[in-house]
Amino acid sequence: MVITNAQDFREAFVDRLQSTFGKAFEATTRNDRYQALASMVRELTLKNWLSTNRCSKDEGRRQVYYFSMEFLPGRFLISNMLHLGIKDIAEEALKELGIDLEDIAEEEPEPAIGTGGLGRLGACFLDSMASLGIMGHGCSIRFRYGLFKQRIIDGHQVELPDNWLASGNIWEVKKPERAVYVRFGGHVRPDFVYGRMVFLHEGSDIVRAVPYDIPIVGYKNKVVNTLRLWESEAPTKDFDFSLFSRGEYAAAMKSKHDAEAISDFLYPDDSSPEGKKLRLKQQYFLVSAGLQSILRHHKEKYGRLDNLHEKVAVQINDTHPALCIPELMRILMDEESMGWEQAWDITTRTVNFTNHTIMPEALERWSEHMFKNLLPRIYMIVEEIQRRLRLKLEELYPGQLDRQSRMYILKDGHVYMANLAIFGSGMVNGVAKVHSGILKEHLFKDFAEVYPERFTNMTNGITHRRFLLKANPGLASLITSAIGEGWIKDPLSLRKLEAFSGDASFMESLAAVKRENKARLARYIGSATGIQTDPEGIFFVHIKRIHAYKRQLMTALGILDTYERIINGEIRDITPRTYIFAGKAAPTYSLAKSTIKLISSIADRVNSDPAVNGFMKVLFLENYSVSLAERIIPAADVSLQISTASKEASGTGNMKLMMNGAVTLGTMDGANIEIFEEVGGENMFIFGLDPAEVMSLYSSHSYRSWDLYLEDEGLRRTVDRLTDGFLPVARNEFERIRTHLLDENDEFLTLKDFAAFKKAQDAIVPAFKDKERWTRMSLVNIARSGRFSSDNTIKGYAREIWKIDSN
Ligand code: F58
């Protein structure tokens, strides 16, 4: 298929529709049209995929494998078209046929294999690696059900299964011939073969891992990398027929179900031992399947494994894939007959670890008992790693058992995954300067003292191709008309835009693009919720996972306070304000779920009050996803990034919003600090405690939220509103939140920072009303966002961690 103009494209498309569906063009459905178009785009990517694979084979360049439990790539269709350079032609051709490309793109089911920033970061990295010509691939699980679909019913989050694969996935290619086998349970028997000790793994359950490959298309460079997703199956595809013939139906199906369960759900509920076991199984499944296939490929190419670290870099995304370390050891020793020293040397030069959070609940540890039963050979290897770690620490810190044990992998009946990841990796990085500092100085201080050279920082980034070029075509074309299209390959050149701050017509166009994006979002909100919003007013946007440390609660209390001050006549400025929230709460996280209900209740009260109706609206948009983010972000005026300082490792929503001209209202946390370095205090609104202040407040134990509440009348009024019948819900509905804020002493310092937050928010209104000033702030944010492109981040990883060239 060679397509060079809209007419060719139109003909090929109509032809494809007819030959696939046997229908006249007029009779085809929206889904038929999506399928036909996607199959054309897929065909174009496959050609480049083949040549990329051939070229990487020929050149012997170092390949990067990004192991992650999560990837949130978003929809592929339009992004692939942009990257292949055929979007404009296709859009024109479709228009001639009366088809809106954006409309049919909605037919694509969105891969929901992720919860938040961590999964989206993986997808941004894949995009940047492909676009920079780095041979970098993703490795994950093909979860049949991704994260739940969120509905908001009567203000509550309701979770529904997300069967994203129900009607197939046109982008994937199943590779049954590349299947591998993964073992669980059983026991290990040492034996001697030709005088050498070997470990025989007997009586284990075997699961077949089948890869599905998704092409990741680089931007106009003919590079196509791979996101490989593994699906679990029983080793023989059918059930056990002998049991079936004896009438034991349930037993006959059991092993099939058990095997398939591994790739059924992302993050099964792990409050039960069974749930925990399944999670550990998933982690080992991912790691073992991924590494076996990498090593097989490497051997096919080089015929040896002693050069593995020269040709392969494995990046482990948080601790979920940390079993890469003992599994690589197992393969090198048990299957390739390498000695411990050599295998360890290769492993630690191949694997690197990224930490994404300091929240204690995310620092994984497994019961040693469960670990040993499920992964007996891996357990033996971990025991030996622990033994060697202990010897090393005893040598360094003789007799200092407390200090030593803080670094142990095995202790108190548990396996500590972060300690394993640090000890077994070549490099360890955090995801923003402040976060990497906290890792070195607090969380992993002991290790950083042993291995100072191992710790580094790689500030996160986002792909400007999805979050600007694709999501905001109006802004993208204004930028291109001003500075040319060089910024798409070189995002730092967005800086050139600053020269236009004195160009009245450019600035007017910039404001017009934002207005148009807001009008588009307002239309969407109107049709999705029936609520009318005013695109002339301020759009405040707080979109991310719902978590107490991200303080959606503070925004909600801020709205309550503003609303009351308006109806009391304390605020007379009636600049329209729309507050937009979106995000999912973990199903078992009751405080986060109450926060969603609170936002919905505030929305019910505010949106139905005629006294503020013309100018104040609150919305919680359900089912946050990459595509919903792409809708909201271009329309944001104010980006709420208000986590308790020190808690947000980096944040990446802050970067996406900044790049689209939103001004940040934030705390000095995560990458906000680096955004501040770029744009300065005059182009963002910073408030509240900084990380050092927060940490010293915690360690001094001097904070009492009750005292603050009793002292500050305004604060008391707002907190009381939760439970005094002001909101249209039962009075005890938000008792949980009140308890968190007062009796549990406000762990995330929402009340402590509240006065500063209010002040910062109040300062936004006059700044927004000064249109020239606001548009200039917006321009500076866009122009200086290039540093936060994931292209830069990936160049950093390539240079410092993977030691490869990127152009
Ligand atoms: C996020 N982590 C961080 N974790 O919160 C964010 O600051 C950072 O920018 C981002 O990683 C990328 O580095 C994150 O998204 C999760 O989603 C957890 C995964 C495991 C279950 C609990 C949530």
Q: Which of 580, 797, 547, 753 is nearest to 648 (CA)?
A: 547
Task: Give pLDDT, residue 498.
Answer: 98
- Bridge-partner residues for 542, per DSSP? 581
Which atom of ligand 1 is nearest the CA belonging to 670?
7
Which atom of ligand 1 is nearest the CA belonging to 70?
19
**Would you state the structure tokens that stand for residue 595, as one six-digit string?**
């926060």
- Write the CB contacts of 506 (distance below 8 Å, at least 6 apart in sequence): 478, 482, 500
- The per-residue b/e assignment along 120-152, b for 16 or more CB within 10 angstroms, e otherwise, is bbbbbbbbbbbbbbbbbbbbbbbbbbbbbbbeb
What separation in Å is there between the alpha carbon of 584 and the centre of ligand 1? 13
**In the chain, helix, strand, coil percent, each to 5?**
55, 15, 30
Task: Give pLDDT, residue 734.
Answer: 98
- In angstroms, what CA-CA distances link 353 with 68, 367, 424, 792, 801? 11, 22, 9, 19, 10
- Write the CB contacts of 297 (distance below 8 Å, at least 6 apart in sequence): none
Q: Which of 595, 583, 764 is nearest to 666 (CA)?
A: 764
What separation in Å is there between the alpha carbon of 459 and the centre of ligand 1? 14
- Which of 66, 118, 143 has most ligand 1 atoms within 8 Å of its beta carbon, as the pocket-test mutant? 118
Task: Give pLDDT, residue 239.
Answer: 61
> CB 756: neighbour CB atoms within 10 A?
14
> CB 481: neighbour CB atoms within 10 A?
11
The whole-number average pLDDT for the span 339-343 is 97
Task: Give pLDDT, residue 238.
Answer: 61
Protein residues with CB under 6 Å of any ligand 1 atom: 115-118, 121, 356-357, 362, 431, 460, 648-652, 670
The whole-number average pLDDT for the span 548-564 is 98
Task: Give pLDDT, residue 243.
Answer: 65
What separation in Å is there between the alpha carbon of 746 and the centre of ligand 1? 22
> What region, left, alpha or beta, does residue 352 occupy, with left being phi > 0 and alpha being psi -120 to 50 degrees?
beta
Q: Which of 233, 219, 55, 189 is nearest to 124 (CA)?
A: 219
Task: Give pLDDT, residue 4.
Answer: 83
* pLDDT tens figures, 220-245: 999 999 999 999 999 875 666 676 67
What separation in Å is there between the alpha carbon of 359 and the centre of ligand 1? 10
* pLDDT tens figures, 85-137: 999 999 999 999 999 999 999 999 999 899 999 999 999 999 999 999 999 99
Task: Give pLDDT, residue 60.
Answer: 84
Is the pLDDT score of 741 beyond 70? yes
Is the pLDDT score of 739 beyond 80? yes
Q: List, by residue number, the catalytic residues.
A: 356, 544-545, 550, 652, 656
Q: pLDDT-based confidence at 613, cuts 50/70/90?
A: confident
Is the pLDDT score of 58 beyond 80? no
pTM greater than 0.85 (yes/no): yes
Is the pLDDT score of 11 beyond 80? yes
- Write the CB contacts of 416 (distance below 8 Å, at least 6 apart in sequence): 363, 365, 408, 409, 410
- Bridge-partner residues for 184, per DSSP? 205
The whole-number average pLDDT for the span 657-669 is 98
> CB 455: neighbour CB atoms within 10 A?
19
Whole-number Å distance between alpha carbons of 627 and 176: 31
> CB 801: neighbour CB atoms within 10 A?
21
Task: Give pLDDT, residue 557.
Answer: 98
Task: Give pLDDT, residue 244.
Answer: 67
* pLDDT tens figures, 528-537: 999 999 999 9
Ligand 1: residue whose CA is nearest its atom 4: 118
Q: pLDDT-based confidence at 51, cuts 50/70/90?
A: confident
The whole-number average pLDDT for the span 678-690 is 98
Whole-number Å distance between alpha carbons of 689 and 753: 7
Mean pLDDT (the chain, rounded): 95
- Write the CB contacts of 491 (distance below 8 Å, at least 6 apart in sequence): 464, 785, 786, 789, 791, 792
Provide the CA 92 distance to its chain's centre, in angstroms: 33
Ligand 1: residue whose CA is nearest its atom 22: 362
Is the pLDDT score of 807 beyond 70? no
Whole-number Å distance between alpha carbons of 453 and 456: 8
Which residue is associated with the tokens 């404009």? 88
Ligand 1: residue whose CA is nearest its atom 21: 362
Ligand 1: residue whose CA is nearest its atom 11: 118
- pLDDT higher for 224 or 270? 224
**What is the residue type of 711?**
E
What separation in Å is there between the alpha carbon of 143 and the centre of ligand 1? 19
Whole-number Å distance between alpha carbons of 314 and 324: 8
Which atom of ligand 1 is nearest the CA belonging to 354?
13
Is the pLDDT score of 2 beyond 80? no
Pairing label, strands 351-354, 663-666: unpaired
Ligand 1: residue whose CA is nearest its atom 2: 118
CB 688 within 8 A of CB 498: no
| Share of residues in the chain with pLDDT > 90 (%) | 92
Which residue is associated with the tokens 């991924």? 290
What separation in Å is there between the alpha carbon of 631 and the centre of ligand 1? 22
Which atom of ligand 1 is nearest the CA belonging to 119?
15
- List of E strands, 203-289: 205-217, 224-233
The whole-number average pLDDT for the span 574-583 is 97
What separation in Å is there between the alpha carbon of 357 and the centre of ligand 1? 6
Q: pLDDT-based confidence at 254, cuts 50/70/90?
A: confident
Task: Give pLDDT, residue 53.
Answer: 73
Which atom of ligand 1 is nearest the CA belonging to 361?
22
Is the pLDDT score of 580 beyond 80? yes
Is the pLDDT score of 149 beyond 80? yes
Is the pLDDT score of 491 beyond 70? yes
Is the pLDDT score of 32 beyond 70? yes
What is the 3-state secondary structure of 566-610? HHCCCCCCCCCEEEEEECCCCCCCHHHHHHHHHHHHHHHHHHCCC
Q: pLDDT-based confidence at 57, cuts 50/70/90?
A: low
Which atom of ligand 1 is nearest the CA belonging to 651?
9
